[in-house]
Amino acid sequence: MSQDGAGVDLETSLGYLLKEASSALRSAMEGVLRPLGMSVTHYSCLELLAQRPGLSNSELARGTFVTRQTMNVLLQALERDGYVTRPAEAPFGKVLPAELTPSGRRSLEKATAAVRSVEVRMLAGMTEAEQSGAFRILQSMVRSLRDGNDGV
């Protein structure tokens, strides 16, 4: 199965498995969000805004792991469709705090329920201890990867 001497054995690589898990999660989320006419990034943006009202474009971008240019395009669409509002002028500096409209909040409700069901399914068969263990380990990975990243 494993090729001796090869650098990264896909069968035992945690990096590969991480990618696989992330792909499966994304796929499952797309599956439940598509009927609602929502993409994963779309949903992530609304969810983030619901939990932290007033976040700026750049902050939302960091929170959803896309560039601020990408988030800007998405925010403009969400604004046009009436899910999000931003003031015409920045109250301070250039930062424009965004907020959900009632329509945005309504639209988010169904999506949140759908995504929660996916997360529940993902955690099926795992004990509480395993879940908190997974949490610690993933956090450790993120920290280690960020550290050596030269601030990029």
Partner DNA sequence: TCGATCATGTCAGAATGCTGACATGAGTCA
Partner DNA sequence: TGACTCATGTCAGCATTCTGACATGATCGA
Binding-site ranges for a copy of itself (CB under 8 A): 3, 6-10, 12-15, 17-29, 31, 47-48, 50-51, 63, 65, 112-113, 115-116, 118-119, 121-126, 130-131, 133-135, 137-142, 144-150, 152
Q: Which partner in DNA, a copy of itself, none is near 70 (CB below 5 to 8 A by kind)?
A: DNA
To a copy of itself, the closest distance from the beta carbon of 64 in angstroms equals: 9
- What percentage of the chain's residues is helix, strand, coil (to nearest 5)? 65, 5, 30
To DNA, the closest distance from the beta carbon of 82 in angstroms equals: 17
**Binding to DNA by residue 58, rule CB under 7 A?**
yes
Q: How many residues does the chain have?
A: 152
Q: Which partner in a copy of itself, DNA, none is near 122 (CB below 5 to 8 A by kind)?
A: a copy of itself
42-72 burial, b at 16+ Cβ within 10 Å, e below that, comes to bbbbbbbbeeeeebbbebbbebbebeeeebe
* C-alpha–C-alpha distance, residues 40 and 25, integer Å: 10
Residue 84, CA distances (Å) to 53, 99, 104 in order: 11, 6, 6
- Chosen residue from 25, 28, 39, 63 binding DNA by CB under 7 A: 39
Which pair of structure tokens corresponds to residue 144?
């280690």
Residue 86, CA distances (Å) to 3, 40, 44 in order: 55, 22, 18
**Binding to DNA by residue 56, rule CB under 7 A?**
yes
- Chosen residue from 12, 13, 22, 67 binding DNA by CB under 7 A: 67
Which positions lie near DNA, rule CB under 7 A? Answer: 30, 39-41, 56-59, 65-70, 72-76, 90, 92-96
